[in-house]
Structure 1
Amino acid sequence: MPGEIREGRSFEHSTLGLPPIDGLSSLRDLFDTKVQLRFVADGEAVCDARMLVKGFPGLRLANMSSTMNVSLIRHRQMLADQEDDVCLILNTGRALSIQQGRRLSYAETGEAALLVYREPATISFDCMNYMAVRVPSSALAPLTGNLAANAGRVVQRDRAALGLLMSYLRSLPDQIHQPELRGLITTHVYDLMALAIGATAEGREIASQRSVKAARLQAVKEALAQECGMSIWDIARLQGVSPRYVQKLFEEAGTTFTEHVLALRLEAARTMLVSPRYAGWTIVAIALEAGFGDLSHFNRRFKARYEQTPSDVRARAASLYGEP
């Protein structure tokens, strides 16, 4: 594993604004030195790649966006670097193929392909858009058994663990400084990757106890952040679990589904109250828009949370952006 992955370094690389020849040269260098794959693209293609990498100790998450048709090759000669990582590549573009060993596989949009670094491989993209998570094989081997047997395999989009993994990865903030939290995130990703690839019976038990609930709770919170009007039955149906399971997720985190939704709705109301965009809205209209049907209940809970009334919050915001 390269030092920057081991240490959890983050970086960004973009060819936007570069002359095509310089952009292609920078991508070849990037993939040679930081990804340990040979980058091959049509020299006449528009060079419009952007890669954003989040690093955690023992874990790298990369997001690539580009319209380029590209092949990434792990030549046999490159195996001398003794890299022993595995990389799960989620196809967010059009078509992706991977050839590794005797296996040739195709991943459609929303499916993922497994690259094992200890073997030669060729990955081809029709429109290079992907999310990739790279970890040391030693982190997954105790949970999955023979990783080499899965080299070049495609994980179907309907596999629940893959959905949980991708939802969890997308929810991660750009910066996390607490070492214990960074370590916990890495462990959760290892567990969810193992479940997506195919864990042993013992590995499934360990990963389920250790990480699945955390990822499921994060997925529920993500869905509620998008639409806090969903009921617990809506959320349970969306996640493929029972309403009681959703309740237990929040209880084990020290809160309740109802309290979490209340906090989201109060914050939505507060955001509208301080925004000039909603200056013409009445407080009643804002409360209704945020999901409160009872104004007295809204006022009481708002003051308990923010130690100010909705009118006070609006008045203070108006004074800051210059309303009379």
Structure 2
Amino acid sequence: MEGGYNGEATVPDCDGFYAATELVVPPQQMISRARATSLILKRDMRHIVADNDDRLTLFFNIGQSDMRTAQLGRDIVLKANEGVFLTQDHPQILDGSHSGEVITLILPKTHFESWATPVHDKVGYRHDFTSPVYRLLLGYSRMLSDEAEHLGADQVQSVSRHICELTAMWVGAVETQMRDDAHTAQYLAVRRIVRRHLALPTLTLPLTARLLNLSERQVQHILQIQGTHFSRLVSETRCERAHCLLQDPACLSLTAQTIAALCGFQDYVVFFRAYKRRYEQSPGDTRALIRTKRMT
């Protein structure tokens, strides 16, 4: 289902199971309010590879029972009226074993593309639930879940953008400072195509230009204004994705070679050199640090 949630649901053993979901699916989004006596949702690499979903999720526990979320090794418990910011492009667990009610907003990553702060640095953490910004964010999210079916697509998009702005303030994300609006929009469009198609070994400048309905020279000029070039942008984007996967405890069963291939690198040596140049450590060093942290 376009805009929906691809994952695996598990119902723990319990008597009198009950679940209900109110669902609205505008383009590239999902807005839901769910109640259940007991439910665990899990999203792993099978689902991520299958649907290439790079959207972001706001998940709010609006029931009375505690709920657990886990992503990128960040395992937290949400009490009533607490929320978490997650990404769809990494494995995640939403554990409502003890019943509850939740609001889930799945939003397009385009709303977050102006962040200078990497999105993955902000997902899965406990942020300040007492701030006025968070109270506004929760309030707007509640209203959107209540009223979405009565709103037009443009209205939903407008409210969603405001929710994303509140999310940035809540998690402490820094906005990118770029030269002017026209070039910013063009650069973000190029970056969006690269990120969306980075797993394709055939991701090239001609393909990117064609997808954007621009000439190759125009794409090169857009990137030049931002101080980069196409091969560098692709390499850095792929390395950033690999860096996140290498640090994810849910991906420890994947070899560095497999992760390199998932990120679009056809040659492991090329990946190894690009990764070491970007992070000043090898993929194996990154993995070793994660295993050491898990042991301690």
TM-score scaled by length of structure 2: 0.52
Equivalence for 1:190: 164
Query: 1:97 maps to which residue?
Result: 68
User: Residue 56 of structure 1 contacts residue 186 of structure 1 at CA under 8 Å; is this kept in 2?
Assistant: no
Aligned to 1:160: 132
- Any idea what the Cα deviations from partners look like across 1:104-153, whole Å, max 9, x if unmatched? 11111111122211111222112131111111223213136311122322
2-structure distance, mates of 1:143, 1:79: 23
Alpha-carbon distance in structure 2 between the residues aligned to 1:102 and 1:175: 35
1:165-176 aligned at under 5 Å gives the runs: 165-172=137-144, 173-176=147-150
Change (3 A) 1:53 1:115: same
User: How far did 1:87 drift?
Assistant: 0.7
Q: Deviations over 1:252-275 (max 9, x none)?
A: xxxxxxxxxxxxxxxxxxxxxxxx
Aligned pairs for 1:5-20 (under 5 A) are 5=3
Residue type of the partner of 1:158?
A: T
Q: Does the aligned pair in 1 maintain the 2:107–2:160 contact within 8 Å?
A: no
Q: Tell me if the contact between 1:176 and 1:182 (Cα under 8 Å) persists in the aligned partners.
A: no
- The answer to whether the 8 A contact 1:105-1:154 is kept is yes
Query: 2:100 & 2:106 partners in 1: Cα distance?
Result: 17
Aligned partners of 2:34 and 2:103 also within 8 Å: yes
**Contact 1:57/1:183 (8 A) holds in 2:** no
Counterparts of 1:181-260 in structure 2, within 5 Å, are 181-200=155-174
Aligned partners of 1:144 and 1:194 also within 8 Å: no
Displacement, 1:63? 0.6
Query: Residue 46 of structure 2: which of 55, 64, 77 is its match?
Result: 77
Q: Which runs of 4+ in 1 moved over 6 A?
A: none
Question: Alpha carbons of 1:177 and 1:61: their partners in 2 closer, same or farther (altered >3 Å)?
Answer: closer
Cα distance 1:129–1:156, how it changes in 2: closer, same or farther (>3 A)?
farther
Write the distance in 2 (CA, Å) between the matches of 1:122 and 1:152: 10
The whole-number CA distance in structure 2 between the counterparts of 1:178 and 1:73 is 31
Q: Secondary structure at the match of 1:98?
A: strand
The CA distance in 1 between the partners of 2:120 and 2:17, in whole Å, is 34
What root-mean-square deviation, in Å, do the aligned CA atoms of Structure 1 and Structure 2 show? 2.4
Which one has a bigger Cα radius of gyration?
A: 1
1:35 aligned residue: 5
Identify the residue that residue 90 of structure 2 maps to in structure 1. Answer: 119
Cα displacement (A) at 1:176: 4.0
Moved more, 42-51 or 78-87: 42-51
Which residue of structure 2 lines up, in the alignment, with residue 46 of structure 1? 16
Note the C-alpha offset of 1:49.
Answer: 0.8
Deviations 1:172-200 (A, max 9, x none): 43544555434322322221222223321
Taking a change above 3 Å as real, the CA distance of residues 190 and 58 of structure 1, as seen in their structure-2 partners, is: farther
Equivalents in 2 of 1:83, 1:122: separation in Å?
16
CA distances 1:157-184 after superposition (whole Å, capped 9, x unpaired): 2132221122123334354455543432
Higher relative contact order (CA 8 A, sep 6+): 2
Residues 1:133 and 2:68 aligned together:
no
Counterpart secondary structure, 2:16: coil
Give the Cα separation in 2 of the matches to 1:201 and 1:135.
18
